[in-house]
Amino acid sequence: MDLLIPEIGLIFWHTVSFLILLFLLTKFAWKPVLKAIKERENNIQNALDSAEKAKLEMARLTNENEQLLKQAREERDNILKEAKVLKDKIVAEAKEHAQVEGAKLIDQARREIEDQKTKALAEVKNQVSSLSLDIARKVLAKEFEDQGKQEALVSDLLKDVKLN
């Protein structure tokens, strides 16, 4: 049982050595340990702050990217609308130009047809008059071959003519 009950001297020296150890630990080890813990705490806080900043930056960049995408879509839509308007305008101009050219060609063809028709009619008239003159010459030549017929024709013509 003596081992279970310590003596006063032993308790005193244990207390003194504990206090010296406590003093030495406080003086030399406690401050560096607290300093290391404080640095660790600051590093963790800085990492959390950096993570928060990175999160905010990512949110800002995401928002900015969405705005850029929206703007790009709007520009694309505007370009497509302008292209469609331009295409419609070009098609309309081409149709109008084609109609004008077609009308010019039709008018030119009509004038050519009229000219050809007029020339053909003039040629037919010339041929008819030429044929008529040839026929009349031949008929008159045949009629005037006989002298008696000539005199009868002259006398008939003279009867029709009245002198004033």
At 14-64, the pLDDT tens digits run: 999 999 998 888 888 888 888 899 999 999 999 999 999 999 999 999 999
Distance CA 14, CA 142 (A): 180
> pTM surpassing 0.95?
no
Q: 97 or 25: which carries more pLDDT confidence?
A: 97
Answer yes or no: are the C-beta atoms of 124 and 132 closer than 8 Å.
no
Q: Where are the domains of the chain?
A: 8-160
Q: Provide mean pLDDT across the span 64-87.
A: 95
Q: Of the candidates 136, 147, 151, which has an alpha carbon nearest to the alpha carbon of residue 159?
A: 151
Q: Provide mean pLDDT across the span 108-125.
A: 92
Instruction: Give the DSSP letter string of 36-78.
Output: HHHHHHHHHHHHHHHHHHHHHHHHHHHHHHHHHHHHHHHHHHH
Mean pLDDT, the chain, as a whole number?
88
CA distances from 18 to 13, 36, 38 (A): 8, 24, 26
In which residue are the tokens 């959390």 written?
Answer: 48
Helix axes 31-143, 147-160, angle to 10 degrees: 100
163 pLDDT tier (thresholds 50, 70, 90):
low
Each residue's pLDDT tens digit, 120-139:
998 888 888 888 888 877 77
